[in-house]
Copies of this chain bind each other. A is one copy, B any other.
Amino acid sequence: MENTGKVKYKNLFYKMLRIRMVEEEIAQRYSQKKMRCPTHLSIGQEAVAVAVGENLFATDFAVSSHRAHAHYLAKGGNLSALIAEIYGKATGCAGGYGGSMHLSDLTVGFVASTAIVANTVPLGVGLSFSQVLKKQNAITCIFIGDAAIEEGVFYESLNFAVLKKLPVLFICENNLYSVNTPLHLRQPIERPIFKLAHGIGAKAEQFDGNDIVSMFDTVSKVIKDLRNQGGPWFLEFHTYRYKVHCGPEDDLNYNARPKEEIDYWLARDPVSLLQSKLLELSFLSLKEIDSYKQKIQEEINKAFDFAENSLFPSINDKYKFQYIDNNLEWLHSVLNPQKEVYTIE
């Protein structure tokens, strides 16, 4: 890492640390039972979100899945609105209607995350298609897990993206598990996921998802290529989750997962890896880290205060979104029954 990387990597470190601290705060406060919705934490997987998010503009789109906090934040999503959403408050990023699994911040292009495995995948491809049709010079990112690629809709969507050469980036965080089911019970492990995607016709690459230094520049290049040459691109990131699939508890239980596996990954924690490197190179001091933490903690406290102090949605609004009203008077007025003539060829 050269000196020129100093600012860049300190910034990346800050962002990863921030996501880590937000999620740890959620984990810690979850037992208060005020966040009453299924919540999937990405602790251990922060580097991927940040590496990708850093290369995006607000005009780019992103969609994600049940485990979306990191993607939302890395794309620039509003923190207070995230926390308020998990609290079920009207000030949440989805007005409290969505919860942790349904995040959206349209001001920064984070379109949506949803709770059904892989079902934002075609939606993301559609968004990317819309960008092409509208000649918007932008890309769409689709964040998925290793299980999402097992759904047929992933394959159908990628086939369509390849057919139309759409500027869409698939980011697959392979954390080796779907809930508690290890990869080898779901996929032939002699067939890497990124190679599968390549076989379907995407440009594809794999990365160490925990060592941001090792992959950041290549990710940047890929995204540039996507903008200039079109896509789709499929990136597989090898990474690991520390918490239980859903909820705040730790899941590094040697009965459920192989000891060597846990030890391997714990030694390669993405935040620690980068921190050590930055300390080693004296790009960062312990004091600076402390000040980062303090600053972030203040932001987090504010976000939680905001969430706690916000109002719940009104019960009177429970039918508010049954349908979107729309007035078609304009259509009525432009239709002129007398003037239309249909010619049959």
Residues of B within 8 A of A151 (CB): 152, 156
CA gap between A153 and B151 in the complex, in Å: 8
The answer on a CB contact under 8 Å between B199 and A195 is yes
**Least CB distance, A181 to chain B, in whole angstroms:** 12
The answer on a CB contact under 8 Å between A187 and B163 is yes
Q: Mark A2-22, 1 if CB is under 8 A from B, else 0.
A: 000000000000000000000
Residues of B within 8 A of A150 (CB): 156, 159
CB contact list, A177-203 vs B, under 8 A: 186-188, 190-191, 195-196, 198-201
Residue picked from A162, A190, A191, most chain B C-beta under 10 Å: A191
Q: How many residues of A contact B (CB 8 A)?
A: 21
Which one of B186, B188, B190, B199 lies within 8 Å of A198 (CB-CB)? B199
Once A150-B156, A155-B155 are accepted as A-B contacts, the answer to whether A196 and B187 lie under 8 Å apart by CB is: no
- The dominant DSSP class at the A interface is helix
CA gap between A329 and B296 in the complex, in Å: 68
Residues of B within 8 A of A198 (CB): 199
CB contact list, A131-159 vs B, under 8 A: 150-156, 159
Q: Mark A191-218, 1 if CB is under 8 A from B, else 0.
A: 1000110111100000000000000000
- Going nearest first, the 8 A-B pairs with the smallest beta carbon separation are A199-B199, A152-B152, A155-B155, A191-B201, A152-B156, A162-B188, A188-B201, A163-B188
- 24 A-B interface contacts by CB (under 8 A): A150-B156, A150-B159, A151-B156, A152-B152, A152-B153, A152-B154, A152-B155, A155-B156, A159-B187, A159-B188, A162-B191, A163-B186, A163-B187, A163-B188, A188-B201, A190-B201, A191-B200, A191-B201, A195-B199, A196-B199, A196-B201, A198-B199, A199-B199, A199-B200
Contacts from A to B (Cβ < 8 Å)? 150-156, 159, 162-163, 186-188, 190-191, 195-196, 198-201
